[in-house]
Structure 1
Amino acid sequence: MNIYLDNAATTAQKPVVVAEAMTQILTGEYGNPSRGAHGYSLAGFRVAEKARNQIKELFNADQRYEVAFTNNATVSLNEVLKGLIRAGDHVITTSWEHNSVLRPLYQLEAQGASFDVVSSEAVTGRLNYEEFAEKLCPETKAVVCNHASNVTGNLLDLKWVKDFCEEHGLYLIIDASQTAGLIPIDLSDGKIAALCFTGHKSLYGPQGTGGVCLLKDLPIEPVITGGDGMQSFSKVQPKELPTLLEAGTINIPGIAGLTASVQWLMKKDSSEKLGDYFYQELQKIEGLTIYGDFSSPRVDVFSVNIKDAESAIVSDLLWEEYQIATRPGYHCAPLMHDALGTADRGTVRLSFSTFTTKAEVDTALEALKNLASR
């Protein structure tokens, strides 16, 4: 029997309601939203609006916010960063970031913007928060942070960062890829300018869904322009949200699936948290290096290495010999591996979902123990 522990990449196991909701859209009764006044178009429009309201409820977002749908958090982050940052602007980010933040920033740097990176400690990956003030300069316009590292599972001190941005008048952009649906996020104070999320991880929605919950007055320009279904003679993309960030046809089947998964998630009781147990047992395995800060709240993402073995070899053995799916390598977060000292071989990442069982965790522990004993 296969064991799936690569949930930080995507949650393979979804609630049954997701497939049911997506199948319903494909019955032939739903058209493109805002592309006509007929029943098919209106049906599609209602699906999208229901989803926006569901996302706002999840994040406790008030009337100051709007939700725009994209394909994933990567697109959302590109839309926000490239739509907000101009030549001469400065951004503060961290060593935790995924390439969905870093690569847009490198592109913006080539166009005249600049950015600085807050470093983190070796092995624990703990952020050096004092560096935020050190990196601040008159040109600083925004801070972009990963809410939780997809390598270590470390959780950002979001309140601290929000207060820092408020004090210095900075836009705060949060990558909630690893936390949306898992860690409560409250937008009611209005201190987060844009919360970028993906549907296919801990929201348990289908791949190819995601979006951004952003302040309506955020001075953002569209990166992608095209049809909007309303102002066809305008030479520019309409300024109104969500149209500003939703050129073309949105993914109504995927959005319906995402709505169903969010509704399921919000009704679900808290499941058994296996992370603490897993960490305690990991510490008993001789020859295992565990990366991350376990003194603070975190998500159930664990990076390990066995002695001097390549992470790819260990991950392959876990699959070939034990049918345990894990993720080796660098997890699209190169600066995090530079900080951890794992740039030479990466790490083996094991990550849980609400469907992960104690029996599966015990099997993974036994497999790691056996491999470490070789």
Structure 2
Amino acid sequence: MIPTIRPKLELLSETLIKKIIEEALIILEQRGVFVENRQALDLFCDSGMRVDSKTHRVYITPGLVEDSLDSAPETITLFDRTEEKAYIVGGDHVHFDPGSAAVHIFDPKTGRQRPAVSRDVQNFIRVTDALENIHFQSTGLMSSDVPDKIADSYRLFLALQYSSKPVVTGTFRVEGFKPMFDMLCAVRGSAQALADKPLAIFDACPSPPLKWSNLTTQSLIDSARAGIPSELISMGMTGATSPVTIAGTLVQHCVENFCGVIITQLAAKGSPVIFGGSPSSFDMRKGTTPMGAIETMMIDSGYAQIAKSLGLPTHAYMGLSDSKVNDNQAGFETGIGAVLAALSGINVISGPGMMDFESCQCLEKLVIDHEICTMAYRLIEGISQREDPIATSLFAELGDEM
């Protein structure tokens, strides 16, 4: 049989990838990165890096970057709640999940958005759990009817209660990690069992340009030491919080995510980490960040290609829309994003169901998007030779009947 070719999208030449990485290393060493967390600063000091304790700026050598990239695992295996179904995150394995942290739900009865409440979150989780080709659950909707202090842990509680799928989540407070960790341990049975068979991914977002806050850095450290995969979500906006060019934004993206990888590896060498993001082009006229813009998708595909060249698992916010209703725009932006993400071989694709610049979830859109994801999966399977000969024997059987 003739081997099947998997279609792929690659936007960067090897020379450009090398140039982007080289400039990122220069910035890390000469300009440095702001790291607010004292525990992380101590880790950098212990590793021999130059740290300015007054400005919280860390200057990172290329050697430490290379060592950290080498020790980070190329693949991560997540398990569902039953521990029977495993999902490989790495290589060209593709998994969709429905975005994260939307504050509104689209109400089909009124045709308008409104603040989500707990019942909406439960319905969202149940629908996601029923969609076969949305592989991961996410804490993708915020409840407005619970206290802020438990907003992060409550949404994880609901996800664990109403779904068996692995969960993409994250904490909003330094104190929020422990109750979320305890819930995951309760489901798995122990901390060691959770580390052996991870059930969740914790997002951690740097603040562009070149800043890691106390909260997100502590999340990286806590997750690494617990064996929970961290997902780095750099969010540069071209011309606003990152260079105006796509290539320039990719350089900054690498600087911020390289620093995140290093923190995880200093906290626990070999800990799982995913090179992800939610960058965007910036609309200077309207002051918006269109996630459905082709330039945004090009940035996503570009940094994913760089991460793959370094042997890291990848993530992106794609397969979503900026439309405020579930209309033609929603279908077009979601469709092209899901297909480009799958062709790019991005491992964790967050987006189905989301609209209005990542602020709203729509259950009807989520179901439609599931069909789009199914088509994207079929596309990357490619065209295979299923029989030998391919078709001549079929025509021979027809004889003179044609």
TM-score, normalising length from structure 1? Answer: 0.30
More helix by share: 2
User: Higher relative contact order at CA 8 Å, sep ≥6: structure 1 or structure 2?
Assistant: 1
TM-score, normalising length from structure 2? Answer: 0.28
